Structure 1
Amino acid sequence: MNYQYNNNPGRMNKRVTFLNPPGTISNGWPSKDWTKHVTVWAELKTAKGYKLFSSDATQWQGKCVIGIRYRKDIHEKMRVKIANKTYEMDSPPVNDDGNNQWLTIFLKEVM
């Protein structure tokens, strides 16, 4: 998600909400449910065309990739809510090129 590599901040047109896992301290008490952490603008990428057919299509069902501006408070135990669908992170967020400018996050849908 770097402008230098054809990633444009103008494509960040989706609102995504990051959710803290149960047990996170909120207002001095551990929470029992998933609680809202932050809502940010993101670019949503889904597998299309040859990428879908060259990969194992059954593994790509319910998966997507988002790109956001760099934040150090995002971690792999969080969930992401996009348009009334909830996703969990497939792997830790990737800091593109180590420049602290963009994060790429691989998601899979929670069923």
Structure 2
Amino acid sequence: MNLYQQPYNLRNRITIQKKVESTEPFQSLDDYEDHIKLWSEARFLRGRNFYNARAANVKTDVEFVVRYRTDLKETMRVMYKNRNYEIEGIIPLDNSNSFLMIKAYEIKYDM
């Protein structure tokens, strides 16, 4: 039995947001609307995995494991605990297409 087939592992609520298409001549960079809310497992990289990702010039800070879906795109973003994460990649976790891993990094604004 796969570790992720246990329902208690997907206990973090995330919101997937998609960019709002605007017909105005000047479009704001922060126009997103909620697309769907999902249960996931949030894994924050730390230690060796974090430094290996940075050494390979990958910005991944967190990995979200969700049930398999076909409507997720890398142009969307994840909101988790009032923080926004830019999606870096979406990959299947296993060959049976039961789960997806969303690799993301936190969006930090310089103000």
Describe the superposition over 1:19-70 as per-residue Cα deviations: whole angstroms up to 9, x where unpaired. 011218xxxxxxx72011000100000113333345537x677710000001
Q: How many residues align?
A: 100
SS at match of 1:56: helix
The runs of 5 or more residues in structure 2 that have no matched partner are: 23-27
Cα 1:89/1:61, change in 2 over 3 Å: closer
TM-score, normalising length: structure 1: 0.74
1:29-44 aligned within 5 A? 33-44=31-42
Tell me whether 1:14 sits opposite 2:33 in the alignment.
no
In structure 1, what is the Cα distance between the partners aligned to 2:33 and 2:40? Answer: 19
Aligned partners of 1:68 and 1:102 also within 8 Å: yes
Cα 1:77/1:60, change in 2 over 3 Å: closer
Cα 1:107/1:50, change in 2 over 3 Å: same
In structure 1, what is the Cα distance between the partners aligned to 2:101 and 2:68? Answer: 9
In structure 2, what is the Cα distance between the partners aligned to 1:107 and 1:89? Answer: 4
Q: Report sequence identity in percent.
A: 25
RMSD (Å), alpha carbons: 2.6
1:45 to 33, 43, 46: 43
